[in-house]
Amino acid sequence: MPDDYKAPLPSPTPDSQPFWEAAKRHQLRIQRCRSCNQAYFYPRNVCPHCLSSDVEWFTATGRGRLHTFSIVYRGLKYPPLEPPYVLAMVELDEGPRMMTNLVGVEPDPARISCDMPVVVEWADVTPDVTLPRFRPA
């Protein structure tokens, strides 16, 4: 675990706290609506599909496909990853899409393609914060 992590960290809200607590246990917890049965992300207490407040948390498989990506060649002031790195949008098998990083592969457009299968991996960036990232499955 790097103790020099300088990138911005999440600020959990009451709605997102269960997500971050589960991440610390290396579990990808997202929400599902009991009325229309659709999963969604980011965390909120009202279903974005049908506006029902009858929602629940569940553990996702952590598997999905790369929906889209961008290779970042210039770092920010406090980069979470050394450039070049891959900014990715992953579509989970359960349906929702997440902004994340693709790791475990050279940041080379010849090695990365949309729809490639991916799986979550966990980055314990501080003693209190774990971030989900994805790698090729």
Query: Of the candidates 35, 59, 61, 126, which one interacts with Zn ion according to CB under 5 A?
Result: 35
- The stretch near Zn ion (CB under 5 A) out of 2-10, 14-22, 33-41, 110-118 is 33-41
User: Per rule CB under 5 A, is residue 34 in the interface with Zn ion?
Assistant: no
Near Zn ion in 44-63, by CB under 5 A = 47, 49-50, 52
- The stretch near Zn ion (CB under 5 A) out of 32-40, 66-74, 92-100, 113-121 is 32-40
| Residue whose CB is less far from Zn ion, 33 or 102 | 33
| Residue whose CB is less far from Zn ion, 49 or 65 | 49
Q: Which of 41, 39, 40, 44 is nearest to 13 (CA)?
A: 44
Query: Of the candidates 30, 33, 118, 125, which one interacts with Zn ion according to CB under 5 A?
Result: 33
Binding site for Zn ion (CB under 5 A): 33, 35-36, 47, 49-50, 52
